[in-house]
Amino acid sequence: MPIDTAGLLDTARFIASPNCDDRPGDTKISLLVIHNISLPPNQFGGNGVIELFTNQLDPQAHPYYQSLQGSKVSAHFFIRRDGAIIQFVPCIKRAWHAGVSCWQGKERCNDFSLGIELEGSDTIPFTENQYSSLTALTQCLCNQYPIQNIAGHSDIAPGRKTDPGPCFNWNKYALELGDKKVFTAAQHLL
């Protein structure tokens, strides 16, 4: 599962999102942020997330989509329920996934992080295939970039975001990853 110099994962399907830009200066990628998303909410397998990240979401296709009209968001990676990985933004670019955020006193987490969206919600457990793909992807990213921490969106935007949510099993992820030192948020440690 190698990543090339352009920041593309060779085993992922690449769908380019326009919602990205250059990282500032010599910013090092030091944070991995785990999210969840499903469009429509709590429905899986459709193209809603792809359409959102590529600015093609029809606000008339579902009542919830009207609240997303004009949103310009993306993530580097999206892991489907079956474990398939779609990449929207090269790792060397800044994806627009974190919004207003702060990690360990450092604001604008998009500048120094990679965002991974899991197809899911706060109320439905994630699949074994997703954990397997997330673990392999995390190991690959940690080998390629100087990632020092892994956090949930709720950790970098507390009170504003809840994902990856209570159904995300941090203990399972840490055990599969086999490297707990990257988990600095105390609530996620074993």
Q: pLDDT tens digits for 18-77?
A: 999 999 998 999 999 999 999 999 999 999 999 999 999 999 999 999 999 989 999 999
Residue 51 bears catalytic tag: no
d(CA 102, CA 29): 15
d(CA 4, CA 73): 24
Single out the catalytic residue among 51, 117, 128, 176: 117
Contact 119, 49 (CB under 8 A): yes
Residue 167, φ and ψ in degrees, nearest 5: -85, -10
Q: Which tokens go with 89?
A: 């933004």
pLDDT, residue 186, reads 40
d(CA 142, CA 124): 27
Q: Is the pLDDT of residue 150 over 60?
A: yes
d(CA 28, CA 141): 13
d(CA 58, CA 177): 38
User: Which distant-in-sequence residues (6+ apart) come within 8 Å of 16 by Cβ?
Assistant: 54, 88, 89
Q: What percent of the chain has pLDDT over 90?
A: 87
Q: Which of 27-36, 132-141, 150-159, 176-185 has the lowest mean pLDDT?
A: 176-185
